[in-house]
Structure 1
Amino acid sequence: MIETFAYEALPSRVRFGRGTIKEVAAEVDRLGARRALVLTTPQQAAAGERLGALLGSALAGYFNDATMHTPVEVTERALDTLRETGADCVVALGGGSTTGLGKALALRSGVSQVVIPTTYAGSEMTPILGQTEGGRKTTIRSLDVLPETVIYDVDLTLSLPPMLSATSGVNAMAHAVEALYARDRNPIISLMAQDGIRTLSSALPILVHEPANIEARSHALYGAWLCGCCLGAVGMALHHKLCHTLGGSFDLPHAETHTVVLPHAVAYNAPAAPEAMAAISRALGAPDAAQGLYDLVRALGVPLSLAKLGMPESGIDKAADIAVENPYWNPRPVTRGGIRDLVARAFAGERPRAAATEDEAA
C-alpha cells in the first residue's frame, strides 16, 4: 500500500550530455539575460576564461575567488563585482563552492543563474544555500536560490582527479541516503535515491582506476544529478547537520567530511529506519547499509577519519555540543552521548556502529 505523500517538482532546466558547455550562450539568452558574470575558484580561473570565450558578447566579467563553505565576506566582494560589471546573470563553473556563491548572489540581487558542474556535488539541483560567518555554517531553503539552468557536460568531469571523484561522488550519495528516511520522503524521490546510490556506487570504483572511462563518467554524473534532485526535494537529517557543523567549525573539506561521516550517521539511524536501510543495502549490493558504505569508502582509497582531514581531537566534544543545539529532524532521537560516540568513531576512522541504546535516555 502506498502512503499519502506530497511531491513538488522544482522549476529547473537541465541539459545533459557531452560538449553541452558550448550551448552556454544560448542558455543565457534563453533566460533573457544579456550580461553574464563567470564565477570560478582560483584554481579554475583558466577554465573560466575558456567559458568566457564561449559567452562572447554576453560576457560581463569574472570573479575567480569562490571559496569553500561560501563565506559571507567573499559573497560581499563578489556582489561588488556583480554591480560594477552590470551583470544580470551569473554562470557558475565548478563544484559546490562556485554553485554556492552563485546562489548567494541570486539571493541578494535576484540575478538568474546558469550552473555548469565539474564535480558530483549535486547542490546545483537544490533550493538550498549554506553560508559561513564567524565560524558557523547556516543553511536556508528558498526558491530564490534555485538555479534556473544546469548544464551537465560529461567531458568536463574527465579531468576530475580520481580521489576528488570518489569523495565528491560519496557526497552526492549522502543526499540520496538521507532522502530515503526523510520526514517528507515520497515514492518518486525514493526511486531516484535508490538509482542514484546504485549508479554512483558502481561507477566510482571504476573511476578511481580508470578516470578517463567515459561510460563510468556518464553514469557517475547521471547518478549525481539524481542525488542532487533528492537533496532539493526533501529535507535532510543528522548526517547533513553533522557535516555542516564539522565543516563550518573546523574548516574541513566539504566532500571529504561527508565521505567520512556518512557510514557512521547511517549506522546511528539504522534502528529507526529499517526500510531505508534495506533500500540502501539493495542499491549497494551489500548485506548491511552502514558497513556497505564503509567498505565502499575504504575500497575507494580515500580518508576514513576526521583526524586525517585535520580535525583536532579536542573538537569531538565541541562538535557534539553544536550538533545538538538546533538539530535537524532525524528518524532517531539526537542525543549528545550518541553523537559524541558517532563523531569519536568518525574521528578515529573506526568501523561504524549504532549508538548504544542507553543513549536514547541520556
Structure 2
Amino acid sequence: MGRQSFVYTAHPARVIFGFDTTETLPGEVERLGASKALVLSTPHQEEQAQHLASLLGKSAAGVFAGAVMHTPVHVSEQAVAVASTLGADVVVAIGGGSTTGLGKAIALRTGLPQIVLPTTYAGSEMTPILGETENGLKKTQTTPKVLPQVVIYDVEQTMSLPVSLSGTSGINAMAHAIEALYARDRNPVTSTLALAAVKALASALPKIARDPADRDARYDALYGAWLCGICLGSVGMALHHKLCHTLGGSFELPHAETHTVVLPHALAYNAPTIPDAMAALQTVLGADPARALQELARAVGAPVSLAAIGMSADGLDRATEIAMSNSYWNPRPLEAEAIRTLMQRAFDGAPPLVEGRKTV
C-alpha cells in the first residue's frame, strides 16, 4: 500500500488460545467479578452449553439454548428477559456466529460482559459488530458495547466440527480478511494479518477435508480464523458483506454457505479496481485468486451456487434492488447491471467473472 498515512484502532479483548483452554472458563468468570453466568447456545449445541454450566458449578445461572441464525430481534428480547429473571451478571456464548450474535445482542441491551468460546471459524467474536434481523431485513451496527471482553479459543472445541461446516465456516472467515485488503480504512497492520489468515486457512481447510482429526490443521484453521476476526473488527466492509447480509437477512439463506458462494464473485467484481490487493492475494492463492476461492470451496465439499443453498431464481432481481438501495463504500462503483450479472453467476455456480478477462 506504499508509505501512506493510516489509522489503526485496536479493540481490547483478552484472548486465550490453545488446546484444552475451556478449563480456564471458571477463572475468567471470576476475573470479571461475576458469579451468575448465563450460558448461550443453539438448540443443537445445548449439550455443550450444559457441560459449561457444569464446569462453572455454582457460578452458572442457567442455560439459554435458543440462538438461531441472523440474530432475530424477538429471540434477543426473549434471552434478555431470561437473563434478567435469573439475575445473570455475565453471558457465556459457546458456538458459532449465531450464538456470538445473541451474546452481543444481550450485551447491547443490558451492558453485561461477554465471554465467547468459538466452535467454528466465524470470527465475529473479535468484532464490535452486531447484525440483527427484523421484518425480513438485516441491519448491522458497530459499537464497542457489543465487543466481548474474553475470547477462549480451544482447538478441542473445533475437532468435532463437521467437514462441510469446517469448509464453509473457514471460507466465511477468509471473506473478512480478503475484504480487509481493499477496505477504505485498510492499513499495514490489518493487511499483514489478512494475508497470514488467508494463507493459513487456504492451507488448513483442504487438510481438514481429507482428515478431520488433523490437529495441526485444526490449530492453523482456528488461528487463521482469529486473525480474520481481528481484520473484520478493525476495518470497514464493502460489497461482499452487503450482498451476504441481503441474501441472509431477506432470503434466509445459511450464513457461512452464502459467504462461501458469493466471495469469489464479489472479489472478481472488484478486481479491476484493486490491483494491489489482487497482487497480494496472488502470493497466497495463486494467479487467479477469485477462481482459486471457488476451487477451494469445491475441494472442501462446500456449495458453489446460490441455487444449491436454497435461493430462488425469482428473488435475484429483488436481491439486487436491496443491495443497491443503501449507499455504502465499495472500491468499484455499484452498477446494478453488473451486480445482477454477479448474482446470476453466483446462482448458477458459474466461474467468477473478472471484467475484461475471458472466462468459461
TM-score normalised by length of structure 2: 0.98
Residues 238-258 of structure 1, C-alpha deviation per residue, up to 9 Å, x if partnerless? 000000000011100000000
Is the 1:173–1:224 Cα contact (8 Å) retained in structure 2? yes
Q: Are residue 211 (structure 1) and residue 212 (structure 2) matched?
A: yes
Q: CA deviation at 1:294?
A: 1.4
Q: What is the alpha-carbon distance in structure 1 between the residues aligned to residue 157 and residue 108 of structure 2? A: 27
Aligned pair count reads 356
Q: What is the alpha-carbon distance in structure 2 between the residues aligned to residue 264 and residue 162 of structure 1? A: 23
Q: Which amino acid aligns with 2:170?
A: G
Q: What is the alpha-carbon distance in structure 2 between the residues aligned to residue 165 and residue 135 of structure 1? A: 28
Q: What is the alpha-carbon distance in structure 2 between the residues aligned to residue 356 and residue 82 of structure 1? A: 55
Q: What is the alpha-carbon distance in structure 1 between the residues aligned to residue 282 and residue 238 of structure 2? A: 19
Is the 1:60–1:86 Cα contact (8 Å) retained in structure 2? yes
Q: CA deviation at 1:268?
A: 0.1
Q: Are residue 304 (structure 1) and residue 287 (structure 2) matched?
A: no
Specify the SS of the correspondent of 2:213: coil
Q: Which amino acid aligns with 1:201?
A: A
Aligned partner of 2:158 in structure 1 is: 157
Q: What is the alpha-carbon distance in structure 2 between the residues aligned to residue 102 and residue 214 of structure 1? A: 28
Identity %: 59
Is the 2:64–2:79 Cα contact (8 Å) retained in structure 1? yes
Aligned partner of 2:125 in structure 1 is: 124
Q: Are residue 279 (structure 1) and residue 280 (structure 2) matched?
A: yes
Is the 2:272–2:355 Cα contact (8 Å) retained in structure 1? no
Aligned partner of 1:338 in structure 2 is: 338
RMSD: 1.0
Residues 310-346 of structure 1, C-alpha deviation per residue, up to 9 Å, x if partnerless? 0100111011000011143100001111110001100
Aligned partner of 1:360 in structure 2 is: none
Q: What is the alpha-carbon distance in structure 1 between the residues aligned to residue 221 and residue 335 of structure 2? A: 35
| Aligned counterparts, 1:1-362, within 5 A | 1-284=2-285, 286-355=286-355
Q: What is the alpha-carbon distance in structure 1 between the residues aligned to residue 305 and residue 163 of structure 2? A: 19
Q: What is the alpha-carbon distance in structure 1 between the residues aligned to residue 88 and residue 119 of structure 2? A: 23
Structure 1: gaps of 5 or more residues? 358-362
Q: What is the alpha-carbon distance in structure 2 between the residues aligned to residue 257 and residue 140 of structure 1? A: 20
Is the 1:14–1:152 Cα contact (8 Å) retained in structure 2? yes
Q: What is the alpha-carbon distance in structure 1 between the residues aligned to residue 75 and residue 280 of structure 2? A: 40
Q: What is the alpha-carbon distance in structure 2 between the residues aligned to residue 159 and residue 347 of structure 1? A: 30
The more displaced of 199-208 and 299-308 is 299-308
Specify the SS of the correspondent of 1:314: helix
Specify the SS of the correspondent of 1:324: helix
Structure 2: gaps of 5 or more residues? none
Moved over 2 A (4+): 354-357
TM-score normalised by length of structure 1: 0.97
